[in-house]
Amino acid sequence: MFAFLDYEVLRIIWWVLLGVLLIGFAVMDGFDFGVASLLPIVAKTDMEKRILINSVGPVWEGNQVWLVLGGGAIFAAWPAIYAVSFSGLYLAMFVVLSALIIRPVGFKFRSKMEDKTWRKVWDFCLFITGVVPGLLFGVAVGNVMLGVPFHFDESLRVTYTGGFFELLNPFALLCGVISLSMFMRHGAVYLSLKTEGSLAKRLNWVTNVLTLINLAALLAAGWWVAHKVSGYVLTSVADPLAPSNPLNKTVGQATGHYLVNFKQYSWMIAGPALAFGGLVLSQLCFWIKRHGISFIFSSLSVIGTVAIVGLSMFPFILPSSSHPQHSLTVWDASSSRLTLLIMLVAALIFVPIILAYTSWVYNVLRGKITASSIETRSGEMY
């Protein structure tokens, strides 16, 4: 059984599945990060803040399943990538995890007391738990594209030679702006489905501004990648069916090389088409009050934006800026064939279950969140 899935094919499948899990996280968790980031911008009264919080209150924990799945998939399918990223980028990861730890506390504690100072403190905490991950996930992606300073010794023990503040370089910060504005806009479109009245009207100008920021940042990053960023290219590679060893290859660099895949494989243009086309169509639908369709196109734009990174870098997953030949690729960073095969069987069983359950939950919880519904069931609501 599954004998036709050789090692090379399994590596490609798990590269795709890793992309799917990261896209699932960006689409599902992205909008509730966006809602938290919009809390002090859109909501003016305590009731409006409760409406925003309760719009994602029943679903945010389920959305984080995609983050857990993504981290688990990296750990099991791509252990070398997990080792480098989670050890070398430990401080950045700790900042993100701290924000994610504060998040459930903010949701649970905010409405326990009616004191204004108490609620303002937790409102600020919830705002931070949206902005910090939204920004730093983009910064991380920017640094991955530039390359991370690490190398292996002869025993394949990894050494990371960078520092936290080196991660905050101009290109990475631009990617952080893309990520944060994308999540905030995605959250604003989601809120247009869940709110009404003055809140919904306030979302109009917020969405317009965020669309312009996101579009401008995407265009700026595209120009930067084409003219300033040195992409990585394999100049020799070991047998893709051989066991993983990141030292058995040579790597070169060339400015603009991240665009080569789009020229060689015309189907990859679907990534940029979804990113830009989805953004424009989402905004057009938003203007004509077709908010459900606008959210679908917003999701497609998020999918395209994430896909651009993976497609442009293929077969690289985590390049090394200090020792390019030690970069981690699809062909030399994966677990064994047996591990990938067992995980694939598990993914084929459980991912559809997660999708079905998530669809059912969102169908049950569809509809507007109103002040009257919160007042009627105040004890049950955040």
pLDDT in tens, 201-219: 899 999 999 999 999 999 9
Question: For the structural domain made of 7-380, what CATH number should be given?
Answer: 1.20.1630.10
Rounded CA gap, 271 and 309, in Å? 9
The pLDDT confidence band at residue 2, using thresholds 50, 70 and 90, is low
Does residue 335 surpass a pLDDT of 90? yes
**Number of neighbouring beta carbons within 10 Å of residue 274:** 21
How far is residue 190 CA from its own chain's centroid?
A: 17
What is the CA angle 200-204-206, rounded to 5? 110
* Rounded Cα–Cα distance for residues 297 and 379 (Å): 36
What pLDDT, on a 0 to 100 scale, did the predictor assign at position 274? 95
Percentage, residues of the chain above pLDDT 70: 98
Per-residue pLDDT reduced to its tens digit, 93-113: 899 999 999 999 998 888 888
Question: What count of Cα atoms within 13 Å lies in the side-chain half-sphere of residue 33?
Answer: 30
Q: Where are the domains of the chain?
A: 7-380
Q: What percent of the chain has pLDDT over 90?
A: 60
In this structure, what token pair is assigned to residue 256? 């603009």
Bigger pLDDT: 376 or 6? 6
Distance of CA 92 to the CA centre of its chain: 15
Question: Helices 291-313 & 270-287, crossing angle to 10 degrees?
Answer: 160
Is 1's pLDDT higher than 60?
no
Give the mean model confidence (pLDDT) for residues 167-193: 95
Residue in the structure block whose two tokens are 């599954």: 2
Q: What is the pLDDT of residue 162?
A: 83
Residue 240's pLDDT is 74
Q: What is the pLDDT of residues 25-79, one digit of tens each?
A: 999 999 999 999 999 999 888 898 999 998 998 888 888 889 888 888 999 999 9
pTM of the model: 0.93
- What per-residue confidence (pLDDT) applies to 3? 62
| Mean pLDDT score of the chain | 90
Tokens of 371: 């002040």
Helix runs in the chain, H state only: 7-42, 46-56, 60-63, 65-77, 79-88, 90-109, 116-146, 170-194, 197-227, 260-264, 270-287, 291-313, 337-364, 371-376
pLDDT at 88: 79
**Based on the number of CB atoms within 10 Å of its own CB, is 165 exposed (0-12), middle (13-18) or buried (19 or more)?**
exposed
